[in-house]
Structure 1
């Protein structure tokens, strides 16, 4: 058997294809990634995701979720680890790709026991809640529409606070 790491070509997508791959900074992670990645990148993505979820956990213990210090510290941590969290950034393909692939790596790693699964799901829910709370109203509508979720806003001026699925 012969492995030639130097000969591997990296998949490059054009502008429209890249945007179509990850149209929103939020994801429900319905489709697993289908590209080949190196073992080094696999490990790096997993480590960064664990760091992010540990930060979510630690900040959730240290601060009340949703208040300004929690929000700003979590935003700084997401930015530092180069994960996707804002819709308005120029080229979001790499951070969104990183988010997508790393989620599935940890989903696989943390399915070994009920305690690990619970911890993983709780941190991912807190991360989704944070990301959802910082989205502008129009981006929330687009995300929910693209996700085939119908809703009615419970408070017209603050859609991110509450909505009912029909």
Structure 2
């Protein structure tokens, strides 16, 4: 029981550090910032002045980008998927055709699951995700303005307009 309480205290302290970093970055009083219970892309989320911000460490940010692309393979070019995931020519053609057929007619979730299934079974999903993470500007995917702001030990992203209740359940 004491370990759970200690972990909870550490979590609260860490959130307060992030909140203070965001306040310092925005040059506002920390009291103007709310901690959201939901984490977006596994990154701590805060609300300040009707804007949501993500504040994470290097590791959390990278994990968030990895998670984003694992759930959004349909956003990638099919030729890039085939080449980077080390798919055979036949499997690459299958991915390309699947993207053409499903791109307009099927929900993104279904397309993504189909692509992920093919890459996991026939290729190397780790190589694909590693290549994306190495090339991507993280701010383009995590920030409304496309900027990644390094502030102390944290990466701060202006995620979108809104409030915690848009995501908190």
Normalising to structure 2: TM-score of the pair? 0.25
Q: Structure with the greater relative contact order (CA < 8 A, sep ≥ 6): 1 or 2? A: 2
User: Larger Cα Rg: Structure 1 or Structure 2?
Assistant: 2
Normalising to structure 1: TM-score of the pair? 0.26
